[in-house]
Structure 1
Amino acid sequence: MDVNRGTCVPHGVNQKETGFGYTLSVIGGKYKMTILYCLAEYNVLRPNEMLRKINGIPFKTLSMMLKELEADGLILRKDYAQIPPKVEYSLSELGQSIIPILHMMCEWGEKNRRLD
């Protein structure tokens, strides 16, 4: 693989205006990839279930990340009209399409991480 292809962010082009920049904007941040990966593994989760599965994420941060991922079309929110209220999240088709990229990142990390 040629890492010097230069097609992702051509010289003289603002990174934010490229596919690479767009991808980083929708999955960037401390927890977005973790949330997506968690939904890929469990299919459907309620917010409290995600809190238990994602170690250390504050509820406010989870709520904000879920709103951003939903606005970007990567996840779906399903509200149930019941008492107490119930909300579930799952991956959209667009969200499912990014999971192979996350798998590749996992493979790269396993191959290259240092076990000090």
Structure 2
Amino acid sequence: MRKSCSTNTINKKQIEENCGIAYTNSILSGRWKLNILAFLLSEKTLRYSELKNLLVGISERMLITQLKELQVDGLVNRISYPEVPPRVEYELTDKGKSLEHILIEMAKWGSTHK
């Protein structure tokens, strides 16, 4: 955690405000975020357990952290149903869906250059 008044935090904020690439990178950075978004693009909605099974090797703590960050950034909606046992689903917001073209192009580039 960085202090909100540190030089590093101030510089990061300024760069993200003035550079679209830096802002996009800050939102999509994280080992699992792109995979989560890609699975949600293809499946529309997924339960927590379905995401956990699709993301082989991810810990529960990391999945929860990445999903919360995606929610805070406005890319993912968490839908909680008042049932026993509790049921939670995740879906992309309109902002998240707007990344579809970018994710497809990244996948093409990766397939070409790997």
Do these two structures clear the TM 0.5 threshold for a shared fold by scoring above it? yes
What's the counterpart of residue 41 of structure 1?
42
Give the equivalent residue in structure 1 for 2:16: 16
> What is the TM-score normalised by the length of structure 2?
0.83
Alignment-derived partner of residue 60 in structure 1? 61
Q: Equivalent residues in 2 for 1:20-99 (5 A)?
A: 20-99=21-100
1:34 to partner: Cα distance: 0.5
Measure, in 1, the Cα distance between the counterparts of 2:77 and 2:46.
11
Q: TM-score scaled by structure 1?
A: 0.82
For 2:28 and 2:65, how far apart are their aligned partners in 1? 13
What is the CA-CA distance between 1:110 and the residue it aligns to?
1.3
Alignment size in residue pairs:
100
| Structure 2 gap segments, 5+ residues each | 1-13
Amino acid at match of 1:61: M
Gaps of 5+ in 1: 1-13
1:15 deviates by 3.8
How far off its partner does 1:41 sit?
1.1
Say what the alpha-carbon RMSD is for the aligned residues: 1.0
Q: Which has the higher helix share?
A: 2
Instruction: Name the % identity.
Output: 38
The structure that has the greater radius of gyration is: 1
> Are 2:103 and 1:102 aligned?
yes
